[in-house]
Amino acid sequence: MTHDAPEPETLEQLVAERVGTGRDMTWRQFEDRAVDEESGHKPSRDTLWKIGNGKPTKIDRRVVGAVAAGLELPLRRVQLAAAYQLTGLLVSEVSGADVLHRPGADPDGPLVREALRDGEG
């Protein structure tokens, strides 16, 4: 019996599921909380709204950090969602290392194992 892997999360989904009318927080609350812990960057309400509504906007690591803080989610979870949304690629952990790959590709294949072994030496 095979199980389909769940669809990876996107940054848009993380925001849309938690922010707005009838959700856990209002846009104003999200904006107030969305401050990147590392840089202190605070994206505009417009940028945050565009992310949650799937509209084009500039996203960098400071914005990703601010979204994580605003949603009170682990930074890594938000980083992975942003990576998938922006590139269509997934990140899987193999032998303690992160491996970037296409959906459906085996991140634990022989070439990956060989590359990880070569990187140790």
90-94 and 97-101 strand pairing: antiparallel
Domain membership flag for residue 2: no
| pLDDT, position 85 | 94
Q: Higher-confidence residue: 112 or 8?
A: 8
Please list, in sequence order, all residues whose beta carbon lies within 8 angstroms of the beta carbon of residue 73, skipping any fewer than 6 positions away.
14
Residue 113 within any structural domain of the chain: yes
Tens of pLDDT, residue by residue over 27-78, are 999 999 999 999 999 999 999 999 999 999 999 999 999 999 999 999 999 9
What type of residue is 69?
A
The alpha-helical segments, DSSP class H, found in the chain are 11-16, 27-33, 45-52, 61-71, 75-87, 110-120
Both 98 and 77 in one domain: the answer is: no
**Claim to verify: residue 31 and residue 54 sit in the same structural domain:** yes
* pTM of the complete model beyond 0.85: no
12 in any annotated domain: yes
Whether residue 99 is predicted with pLDDT greater than 60 in this model: the reply is: yes
**What does the pLDDT read at residue 4?**
52
Q: The domain containing residue 51 runs over which residues?
A: 8-86
Angstrom distances, CA of residue 69 to CA of 1, 38, 59, 76, 82: 39, 10, 15, 11, 14
Res 121: pLDDT: 52
Asked if pLDDT for residue 13 goes beyond 90, the answer is: yes
1 inside domain: no
The CATH number covering residue 37 comes to 1.10.260
Q: How many CA atoms lie within 13 A of 95 on its CB side?
A: 12
Separation CA 30–CA 47 (nearest Å) = 12
Q: Which H or E run contains 94?
A: strand 90-94
Please state the domain count of the chain: 2
pLDDT of res. 40: 98
